[in-house]
């Protein structure tokens, strides 16, 4: 009994010491620039203002129908995984970062077919008639850059799996797309550091699906 009391006391003392250490030690910033996520890049392309609400005001975000639906992704990945019986190497739920660029991303999965590697993103919406929509393209281009950085491949395409149609579609990406991602990262950092609220998007119809409507006067 006495031993137990001593152990609890020792733990409490240590906990107290630890807290004192944490509070009094100088703060160490390993990275000067804030890390930007591939998902932030998608949000920025949808509407720049979202970045302001998320990272400057740090407003709590309600879940939209689309977000809840997106959270079912892991079940969908499991189904694809179960069907995977080809020779292609697949890596699921991969977290990658690039400290130099200040970019991080959680990839649904990526493949290496023996010749090239490419990210695969799972989307729940419709297949676009022509090009991949810009917000999705920039998101997967950023994922491609993370694969390049971490595995030393040149990534020239991205693949989207449209769950509604159970169909994979490939899109090519080039250096211009990757340069645009770098510009976006820079612009996101500026919004955060200057605490500047960007103008709202041109198309008010997009505000209907936005989780920031309750903070944004436009919404
Ligand atoms: S409500 Fe509209 S303008 Fe405001 S952050 Fe959302 S999408 Fe942008």
Q: Among 43-57, 122-136, 175-189, which is the least confidently predicted range?
A: 122-136
- Tell me how far the alpha carbon of residue 155 lies from the centroid of ligand 1, in angstroms: 32
49 Cβ below 6 A of ligand 1: yes
Angle at 14 between CA 11 and CA 19, to 5 degrees: 125
CB 195 within 8 A of CB 43: no
Does residue 158 contact residue 146 with C-beta atoms inside 8 Å?
no
Tell me what the mean pLDDT of segment 160-165 comes to. 90
- Write down the pTM of the prediction: 0.79
Instruction: Answer yes or no: is the C-beta of 212 below 6 A from any ligand 1 atom.
Output: yes
Condensed to tens digits (0 to 9), the pLDDT of residues 109-126 reads 899 988 899 999 988 888
- Dihedral class, residue 199 (left if φ above 0, else alpha if ψ from -120 to 50, else beta): beta
d(CA 134, ligand 1 centre) in Å: 17
Pocket flag, ligand 1, residue 74 (CB < 6 Å): no
Is residue 45's pLDDT more than 80?
yes
For residue 212, the ligand 1 atom closest to its alpha carbon is 6
pLDDT per residue as tens digits for the range 165-201: 989 999 999 999 999 999 999 999 999 999 999 999 9
C-beta of residue 180 within 8 angstroms of C-beta of residue 137: no
The alpha helices in the chain, defined as continuous H runs, are 2-24, 38-46, 49-51, 65-70, 73-83, 134-151, 175-194
CA–centroid distance, 50 to ligand 1, in Å, is 6
Burial class (CB in 10 A: 0-12, 13-18, 19+), 91: middle
Domain architecture of the chain: domains with CATH: 36-209 (3.90.320.10)
3-state secondary structure of 160: strand
Bridge partners (DSSP) of residue 121 are: 160
Ligand 1 atom 3 nearest Cα:
200
């Amino acid at each position: 009994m006495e031993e137990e009391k001593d152990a609890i006391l020792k733990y409490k003392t240590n906990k107290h010491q630890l807290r004192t250490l944490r509070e009094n030690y100088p703060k160490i910033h390993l990275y000067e620039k804030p890390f930007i996520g591939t998902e932030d890049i998608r949000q920025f392309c949808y509407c720049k203002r979202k970045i302001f609400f998320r990272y400057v005001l740090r407003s709590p975000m309600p879940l939209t129908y689309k977000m809840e639906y997106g959270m079912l992704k892991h079940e969908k990945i499991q189904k694809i995984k179960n069907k995977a019986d080809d020779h292609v190497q697949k890596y699921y739920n991969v977290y990658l970062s690039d400290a130099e660029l200040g970019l991080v991303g959680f990839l649904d999965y990526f493949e290496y077919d023996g010749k090239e590697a490419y990210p695969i993103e799972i989307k729940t919406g419709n297949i676009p008639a022509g090009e991949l929509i810009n917000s999705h393209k920039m998101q997967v281009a950023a994922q491609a850059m993370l694969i390049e950085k971490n595995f030393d491949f040149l990534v020239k395409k991205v693949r989207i799996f449209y769950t509604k149609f159970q169909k994979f579609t490939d899109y090519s990406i080039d250096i211009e797309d990757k340069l645009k991602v770098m510009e976006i990262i820079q612009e996101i950092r500026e919004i955060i550091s200057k605490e500047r609220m960007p103008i709202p998007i041109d198309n008010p119809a997009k505000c209907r699906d936005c989780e920031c409507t309750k903070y944004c006067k436009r919404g």
